[in-house]
Amino acid sequence: MNTKQNKELEKLRQEMRRGVIVLATLSQLEEEQYGYSLINDLNEQGFEVGQDTLYPLLRRLEKQELLDSEWRVEDPRPRRYYVLNQTGQELLKELKAAWKEQVEVIKEIIK
Amino acid sequence: MKTNLKAGELLARYLLGVKRHLSGKDREDIAKEIESHIFDTLEERFPETEEVTVAQLEEIFKEMGAPRKVAWQYRPQRSLIGPRFFPVYAIVARILVAVVVGAILLSTVIATVVGEPQSFWHVLGNFLGSAWSGALSAFGVVTLIFAGIERAVEEKSWDEMEDFEELKEMNEYKASELPQLPQREKKFDRVENVFEIVFGIIGMAFLTYIYASGGVFPVRSSAGESAQLIQVFTDNYLPLIPFAMGITGLELARTITLYVQGHHSGLTNWWVIATQIGNVILMGFVLNAMPIITLQAFNERVLNLNIANLDATTNTAISVLTGLGIAGTIIDVSIKTYREIKEPTY
């Protein structure tokens, strides 16, 4: 592939990631986490995400009333912890099912 | 993990830069979370460090980008003009609006001085109407053009800005572009502000009186004697009074706005620049209109000073002071304009 095609591929991969970032984030918040630990958690599992994307997304999800958050002062400084609330848990369950269904469909299509 | 003095100041300036590009009640909270993230990153990257240095902080900031870029991620997902073009848009809009208002001000001054005599309120109303519609049109046209550009390149993301290297560079972290901390900025002083408002009102009353009286003052040389009207301001100065009232009125409106706001902002800072430009033009006309004062009659009746050529001496002194005033104001306006473009106040 030439440079232009590589760029196009990278762009499409980013779009794919953007499509599932909400699912990936919600799936890691069944137990509470703060932003930095969540970024590390996702990156270690192979899902690349930066602070510039994650922190605004967490705020958006909280405004959509899917997450609860609180500041907690733990040594050596305060951190904001996020966790799924009841609505978020129900939505995550539905999203997971929809995702699995999509994966099966796509598997069939591209086989 | 702590920061040394310089690193602490740099961090505070970076966070201030972020907050200035945010609005709403969450801005303090967002800045606090960004600070927490920065320390988490520092701890992981420099685990042995007890005191963070400027170099270590800058390494993180370079990855995060300019405060403007960080803040923009928190804005609504769709905006009229996105973060890629906003820096250029803001500069172009400011310059164009300033040029349009300046041109209207200049044409109003020339029309007032050269044209048919008109009442102050008529001139002021015309100027404000023209300035408002001119500024709004200029702002609207620039906004429409940039919104069009934004839509034309909508598909490109932050990371795909190869074709816009200069814009990309504007959103990169540069220490020199961080705002100064509040103690280094001009602080808002309410007492000084109230004095400015009071002096503004006195100034307007004084100018209104001179304009209405035709430049004469009632003078009583001794007790019991009836007052006589004595000319102090010459006919050369009278046509300039409506313009002087316009400038004083604008300055008075600015000080009242400042009182209501409770802090200096981009609006009040550009307002100062606009009124100072108006003042320079006014002082130019004053120089051209010399002599503007005649104290001979006033001296004979009240002062009784033995000064030869009193009028000539007074007007020469006023000319020198006005000339110095023009030079000083031009330097001051240039510095303020440069600062406001380089480091906009929000």
Q: What is the pLDDT along chain A (111 residues), one digit of tens a residue?
A: 788 888 888 888 888 888 899 999 999 999 999 999 999 999 999 998 989 889 999 999 999 999 999 999 876 788 999 999 999 999 999 999 999 999 999 999 998
Residues of B within 8 A of A34 (CB-CB) are: 36, 40
- Give the bridge partners for A68, in sequence order: A83
- Rounded average pLDDT over B257-265: 79
* Predicted local confidence at residue A104, as pLDDT: 93
Asked whether the beta carbons of residue A51 and residue B37 sit closer than 8 angstroms, the reply is yes
Q: CATH assignment of A3-110?
A: 1.10.10.10
Shortest distance, CA B20 to any CA of chain A (angstroms): 17
Q: Is the pLDDT of residue B173 over 70?
A: yes
**Site from B37, B52, B61, B79 to mutate, A interface, most A CB atoms within 10 angstroms:** B37
Strand B51-52 to strand B2-3: parallel, antiparallel, or no bridges (unpaired)?
parallel
Contacts of A78 in chain B (CB under 8 A): 32, 36
Q: How far is CA B235 from CA A1, B217, B218, B287, in A?
A: 82, 14, 17, 14
Query: What is the C-alpha separation between B222 and B225, in angstroms, rounded?
Result: 6
Inter-chain contact A59–B73, Cβ cutoff 8 Å? no
Domain ranges of chain B: 2-72, 86-171, 185-342
Contact assignment for A36 to B157 by CB distance below 8 Å: no
Angle of CA points B227, B233, B239, to nearest 5° = 130
- Residue B274 contacts residue B250 (beta carbons within 8 Å): yes
Contact at CB, A78 and B64, closer than 8 angstroms: no
User: For the ranges A39-53, B18-32, B106-120, which has the lowest average pLDDT?
Assistant: B106-120
β pairing state of A33-34 and A77-84: antiparallel
A36 touching chain B per CB within 8 A = yes
pLDDT at B172: 83
Q: Are A11 and B36 within 8 A, CB to CB?
A: no
pTM (2 d.p.): 0.55
Per-residue pLDDT at B118 exceeds 80:
no
Read off the tokens for B61. Answer: 């900031």
pLDDT of B161 reads 52
What's the rounded mean pLDDT across residues B307-336?
89
Question: Nearest by CB to B37, which of A7, A11, A35?
Answer: A35
SS3 A69: strand
Neighbours of B196 (CB within 10 A): 18
Q: What percent of chain B lies above the pLDDT cut of 90?
A: 20
Say whether residue A86 is in contact with chain B using an 8 A CB cutoff: no
**Amino acid making up residue B287:** L
A19–B contact, CB cutoff 8 A: no
Q: How confident is the model at residue B96 (pLDDT cuts 50, 70, 90)?
A: confident
Give the integer Cα–Cα distance in Å for B65 and B294.
Answer: 63
